[in-house]
Each structure stands twice: as structure tokens, then as C-alpha cells.
Amino acid sequence: MASREINLKDAINAVSDVVQNRPRPLRDFDQIYMKTGDMVMQSELVARWANGKNLAFIGDGDAISVCVAILKERGIFDEGPKQITVFDFDERICSAIARFADHEGISSLESRLYNCADAFPTESIAQFDCFYTNPPWGASNAGESVKVFMQRGFEATGYAGEGLVVIADDHEREWPQQVLAQVQRFALDNGQFVQKMQSKMHLYHLDDDPDLRSCNLFFKALPADARVVSSSPLDRNRLDNFYGKDQPLKIRYVRERKRVDYGKAHDEEYAIESMEL
């Protein structure tokens, strides 16, 4: 049976609630957020693709996980994952997800503080049907940062599931094409193949390159015998240029400074100038 058409106004309003809850991006760590219209479309796509499945997000600055969950919870989407777990090294993101899920009563959404440089949590290996990631795009490290996030996704699915990877897509520039080739080669080396590619799908709030788009790459595991999956920390040479030239991955977590006024302007952002009466 074909899915019904969604109420676009309700969907945009729900995603607006998510954006309001989301922490501001840290550009130093490639937290560059997708534009809202594309978030609505991407969320619908992910909800259908992962319908009824256990879905791991390997990082989620965009908050697509939260969009998918709330759109299903509010009945705007008929489809959606059975369970969503977000693994992110930014405590602000993990806490925002936990607060939103608690406020909205979404029991199927949870977050875990995790850095991809560390071994994937043992209790989470092979516990998911599919994974989603929008990693650092690897312009300065030949796609190595993309491979790292994919590897953790493969471990989450026990190298036996499906993945959706969002990376840069530009048909004129050399580096996105080189990264695409490296990523596809890495997938094949790990028993995965490209099911589908949706080219030039998304735009971002990227002031210095507003026209750069990204694509959706869908991966699926090749039929194979069951394997024992383990995980280990990254070799240090894989951390170089992780977030751009001369910007290695060298921090473990972004920690949140606790406040009581989430969702409101912080008093360091503004000053009051009174009228003379």
C-alpha cells in the first residue's frame, strides 16, 4: 500500500520545533546544519527507509533523528523506525535529544555520548538493522573521516545491515568525486555494496560555500556467512586532518554547560537599552 501524502505545514512546524531545540553548530567540528526544507524531505525518506527497524545514528548534528521520531509520534508520518539511538561526541546534542524525547514522550528515541575514535560500545555491536550518518566530508583526508563513521555504522549493524551515508556531491570539483570513489571502495572492501545514490539532494547553512550540496548513498551488506564482529580504537594516523587541513580529531567530548533556560536567548547574547520616560 502506498504511503499517504504528508501534511506539509504540520511537518514543517514539527521540524521547526526540533530546530528550536537543537544546539547551535560548532563549525570547528564540521557541524554544518542542513536547511529546513531539505530536513523535512530527508526525514520522510529516512522514516520510510528504516520503517520498523532499529536505527543507529553515528553522529547527528542536523537532528534528523529527532525529526523522524517526532513526525512519527505526532502522526504526521505513518512510517518510522522501531527504535532510534544516536551516538554523538557532543554532550549538548545528546542532552538536547534526551530533553526533547522526554518532553514529547517519545520512548523510541535515545542518545549516547560516544566518540568515533573509541571502540564502538560492545553492548551495541550488531544490535541495529541499519545506520545513518552525515559525517565530516573528508575534503582534506581523502574521505578518511567518512570511512571512520561508516566503519562504526558497519559495526553497529554487525556488517549485516544497511546504511545511509550523506556526503558532499559536486560534479565539477575534484575532491567530492575522489571521496565518493574512496567511500565506495571502502564499502566493497567491507562486504557492502551501493544500492542507490540520490545526487545533489541537500543544501546547508554554509556561508563560505552556500551552493555545495550533498547526496544520499545507500549501502547494503553482501550476503555472507555470519561473522564475529569486534571494534577497536582508531589508529592515530586516521585522526589527521579529520575536520579539515591541519585540524585533527584531538578532543574526546564537547561538554555541555548546564543552564535552566534552554530554548530561550541567553543573557550573554543581548543587552537591554531602556527608553527615557
What secondary structure, in 3-state letters, does the chain show?
CCCCCCCHHHHHHHHHHHHHHCCCCCHHHCCCCECHHHHHHHHHHHHHHCCCCEEEEECCCCCHHHHHHHHHHCCCCCCCCCEEEEEECEHHHHHHHHHHHHHHCCCCEEEEECCCCCCCCHHHCCCCCEEEECCCCCCCCCCHHHHHHHHHHHHHCCCCCEEEEEEEECCCCHHHHHHHHHHHHHHHHCCEEEEEEEEEEECECCCCCCCCEEEEEEEEECCCCCCCCCCCCCCHHHHCCCCCCCCCCCCCCECCCCCCCCCCCCCCCCCCCCCCC
* Through-space distance between the first and last CA atoms of the chain, rounded to whole angstroms: 66
124: Cβ contacts below 8 Å, ≥ 6 apart? 56, 85, 87, 112, 156
Per-residue model confidence (pLDDT) at position 54 = 98
**Phi then psi for 151, rounded to 5 degrees?**
-60, -45
User: What pLDDT does 1 receive?
Assistant: 45
* Other CB atoms within 10 Å distance of the CB of residue 167: 23
CA distance 228 to 122: 12
Angle between helix axes 64-73 and 91-104 (nearest 10 degrees) is: 0
The domains of the chain, with CATH numbers, are 14-222+231-239 (3.40.50.150)
How many Å apart are CA 12 and CA 9, to the nearest integer?
5
Q: What is the pLDDT of residue 267?
A: 60
The 10 Å Cβ neighbour count of residue 116 is 26
CA-based nearest residue to 60, from 83, 88, 79: 88
Look at residues 31, 33, 36, 45 and name the one whose alpha carbon lies nearest to residue 17: 36
* Alpha carbon distance 175, 188 (integer Å): 20
Cα–Cα distance for residue pair 104/264, rounded to 1 Å: 18
Q: What are the mean pLDDT values of the chain's consecutive 10-residue runs (277 residues total)?
A: 76 94 87 91 97 98 96 96 98 96 97 97 97 93 95 97 95 92 96 94 83 94 82 94 90 84 57 68
